Amino acid sequence: MRIVVLVSGTGSNLQAVIDAVQSGELPVEIAAVGADRPGTYGVERSAAAGIPTFEVDFKDYPDRAEWNAALTEAVAAYSPDVVVSSGFMRIVSPAFIDAFRGRYLNTHPALLPAFPGAHGVHDALAYGVKVTGCTVHWADAGVDTGPIIAQEAVDIEPEDTEDTLHERIKVVERRLLVATLRQLALAPALPN
């Protein structure tokens, strides 16, 4: 199974995938890693591991539609079986979703459908829930919607801050992403 991973930041989930591939735990080929801006540590991690990288800088395009078209073309050039949104903080267009329908995997630091959007950890703390977690799902044209593949709960401790909770969620998220990719790679065929 060939994957393209999209990142916007440090790429800690990506590093878990790279490590699992290099150890033989995860039978996938990371065809490329792409970012929505220059200078991400996720791209640096990939380059250091010998993985092809690309950047489609949002600021280089006059509007969202042209950026989405360029991103779609860049990702499609690597013929991925699955595209992994791993801390990729841009909402992609319906045309991007259509190009990779049923093959665009997203991770989210909350138990969807609760607390979608860019502030899932903050929102869970602010609401006062006692349990949150992470979700791996097939992305669709909505924000953090689409069929859920896997979830795992994380208890909220009384002393948790947004940072401490997010770090504990990330540990679970890395493991869940690798396990989900392994399950998909070993499946007879990707679901439609």
Q: Give the residue numbers marked as catalytic.
A: 108
Letter string b/e over residues 60-85, b meaning 16 or more CB atoms within 10 A of that residue's CB: eeeeeeebbbebbebbeebebbbbbb
